[in-house]
Amino acid sequence: MSNKSKEMNNLTDSISELKPRLLIVSGPSGVGKGTLLKRVISESKLPLTVSVSATTRKPRPDEKNGIHYHFFSNEQFQTKKNAGEFLECFEVFSKGVWYGTLKADVEKGLAEGNFVVLEIDVKGANEIKKQFPNAITIFVKPPNTKTLKERLQGRGTESEEAMQNRLKTAIEELNHADEFQYCIVNDDLDNAVKQFIKIIKNNLN
């Protein structure tokens, strides 16, 4: 048996014995968390499922409800908030824009034996860590703030005011990177994917 086959068999054995856990992924808007997660899920053999966040912001042209986000009106969101349907939810970027993590989605993923990935902001991450202290936490950083600003501007999907709000929040969030167990600098996507997968494998047992 080749070394690669032995490694895959060992990984399969570890996966069959693991307990479902939460994997919190945070970092500034525009740092590339979504792209990184897509690559990790497609290239790893790990039972990962990404929890779809809820928001009251309007969808971008390429976004689909229930896939990229659960898009709710402010009234719908507040009804769910008052009913206790969120593990965490906060108003971010600008007044009237809410994001949150639906409790039912997370419970379903854990019940199915998956690592449930939460792609959330720093405030949300801190709230989730209180409820799930054994969660694995990863902070994704840009190589520098100049690159981050260029990525945000490159989207071309928001007004200058909204972009500046995101950039301000992003810079503030960078100050919380040391509150997470692991930090990945996303300056090279291939390398970032390898680091991410290695972190998960090191936490299988």
Torsions phi, psi for 91 (to 5 deg):
-90, 125
Q: Give the whole-angstrom CA distance, residue 194 versus residue 205.
A: 19
Q: Give the whole-angstrom CA distance, residue 126 versus residue 52.
A: 18
pLDDT tens per residue, range 59-104? 989 999 999 999 999 999 999 999 999 999 999 866 678 999 999 9
Q: Give the whole-angstrom CA distance, residue 59 versus residue 197.
A: 30
What average pLDDT is seen over the chain?
86
In the chain, the domains with their CATH numbers are: 18-202 (3.40.50.300)
Question: Which residue has 């990404």 as its token pair?
Answer: 50
Does the pTM of the predicted model rise above 0.85?
no
Residue 30 CA: distances (Å) to CA of 1, 58, 109, 157, 201: 43, 17, 26, 12, 26
Structure tokens at 111: 């019940």
- Angle of helix 33-43 versus helix 189-202 axis, rounded to 10: 60
Q: Is residue 39 scored above 60 in pLDDT? A: yes
Q: Contact, 172 vs 29, CB < 8 A?
A: no
pLDDT tens per residue, range 141-193? 999 888 888 877 776 666 777 778 878 888 899 999 999 999 999 999 999 99
Based on the number of CB atoms within 10 Å of its own CB, is 156 exposed (0-12), middle (13-18) or buried (19 or more)? exposed
Question: Which residue has 């689909």 as its token pair?
Answer: 64
